Structure 1
């Protein structure tokens, strides 16, 4: 009589949940973020243990988080949006002009105008990419300069000053609610909505399918064109939203506002585990990547590290994230191949 092996005992739900947490890419980013904060705080306790230090820790990355969430949605579809910084700058200047040219305009109207402009510019990007079948890198590199050129031509040497903006609007950039900056609360609300959409709605899950294999997604009958255009529209709208909040946060807006933000947003998403090849990653990771990125930028000067090395650290993080994604992808492919061979 042959003894049969007993089936493995089912694991406890809590154990499975803990296992998923520790296996998640986001967990490693959180640990790295905590390590950076601890090292900087040990070197200079005011980095964290002061009212301004704690506030800046939460507040500074909030705007980048909004842009990075939109960028992550685009990257998940195996595209990239290099125009987000220019969209942010253009909507930030629009915000100031609306308050100057239309005294008494309601703040909500200004927000809607900024989001609408960002959505329109994102729609242009998406339509050119999805309908003209031109690589997103090429299209958005062109619109980066076009949108920036429009901003420079419009603003010229003028700039928006804090005195041009209503006090209640500026309060959004500096105010707090139960000790937490309002901008941080807004960014987290947007993050939760985006994460819920990608996880729970069919249209959100389809973005991952499109990014994993656009050709197969098209053959399967997914609305690839519509989803890609929608991803760019959302990215533009979030950049426009961030542009309005940029004006509230900093008060002073010139034609150079938002310069370089596109690379920071891409870096935050990639560092946070969003695969540049598409189909993998979460907006949670992009948000944590934004916090890690800007926290490192704040911490390195405290540690006496020069500006050049700050940029080198950022580059190393991005390269390391891409290499890790490649290693994980190869490991997953190897496991699938072994599973197929075992099934034969």
Structure 2
């Protein structure tokens, strides 16, 4: 029971429920099933990006270019659809996913082959990808009337839920399988936990980090299409600053920036925590611009909490060893 109460996922789930209940005391409709479904749908893209970022953070790296990757892919598919409406939407999705994977691979190669620190490599590609959006678009927007109906209609409701929510649930399931049931998932944890020990087990540390960046980029590519199709607009500053929310969701969910620690449930709950806050701010008449301050504060608190928890575990292990001696 004591172990369950210390579970980050359980604590976070209680915090989300408590937050919803507090808001619903003043605005009962907020806790209604339809509104909660909307909150999940509004948070779907953040959840998917956090699950991709999770792979990178597990390997003791970070991907600051994830939102720029999304934005570039969103602009590319929007411009292609506007110029050639006859291109099948599934082909555009495949293109977005493939381009996203390629951009992620570029990050991975710089970290793997050139030994560039991940934060430096992805900060550079963030700027490059944002610049490319302006270059290919000339600063112009692609608006709803320039997009084909099929391009915009994919993320609409099916069986009572938006397709965007269904896709997010499939990504959650796929992430759980990858992280807990595949050699690649186990390698992510091993590399982040102890890279030197991972080498002795036959794991290629550089290649594993490369795969993590490719996974992150692949999901970002998919989200690029989903973002543009849902909001029916593409512009230079798509998802500006969204990488902060993605990292915040991971850290709040208990994914350690020191690597090797984290869970799919934690990433999802971390994203939902931010999603509830984002949806609650307008309800309680607080400016949405405060979300950035709240996200930054949450990152600092979560990192401090993680560091304290890891130090506590270390002391307990040493004490146990002393008793055994």
Change (3 A) 1:162 1:309: closer
In the alignment, does 2:285 pair up with 1:311?
Answer: no
Q: Partner of 1:93 in structure 2?
A: 75
Bigger mean CA offset, 212-221 vs 95-104: 212-221
In the alignment, does 2:53 pair up with 1:71?
Answer: yes
1:126-275 matched pairs, under 5 angstroms: 126-173=108-155, 175-275=156-256
Q: Contact (CA 8 Å) 1:48, 1:57: kept in 2 or not?
A: no
What is the TM-score normalised by the length of structure 1? 0.89
Bigger mean CA offset, 38-47 vs 74-83: 38-47
**Cα offset for 1:103?**
2.4
Counterparts of 2:127 and 2:298 in 1: how far apart (Å)? 27
Q: Contact (CA 8 Å) 1:55, 1:181: kept in 2 or not?
A: no
**Cα offset for 1:185?**
1.1
1:7-26 matched pairs, under 5 angstroms: 22-26=5-9
Q: Partner of 2:24 in structure 1?
A: 41
Q: Partner of 1:31 in structure 2?
A: 14
Q: Partner of 1:8 in structure 2?
A: none
Change (3 A) 1:301 1:220: same
What is the TM-score normalised by the length of structure 2? 0.94
Bigger mean CA offset, 153-162 vs 262-271: 153-162
Count, aligned residues: 325
Note the residue ranges of structure 2 that are not aligned, 5 or more in a row: none
TM-align CA RMSD:
1.8
Counterparts of 2:199 and 2:114 in 1: how far apart (Å)? 16
Structure whose alpha-carbon radius of gyration is higher: 1
Change (3 A) 1:171 1:103: closer
**Cα offset for 1:340?**
2.3
Counterparts of 1:172 and 1:207 in 2: how far apart (Å)? 33
Counterparts of 2:3 and 2:232 in 1: how far apart (Å)? 43
Change (3 A) 1:172 1:21: farther
**Cα offset for 1:300?**
2.5
Q: Partner of 1:122 in structure 2?
A: 104
**Cα offset for 1:22?**
4.4
Counterparts of 2:172 and 2:33 in 1: how far apart (Å)? 27
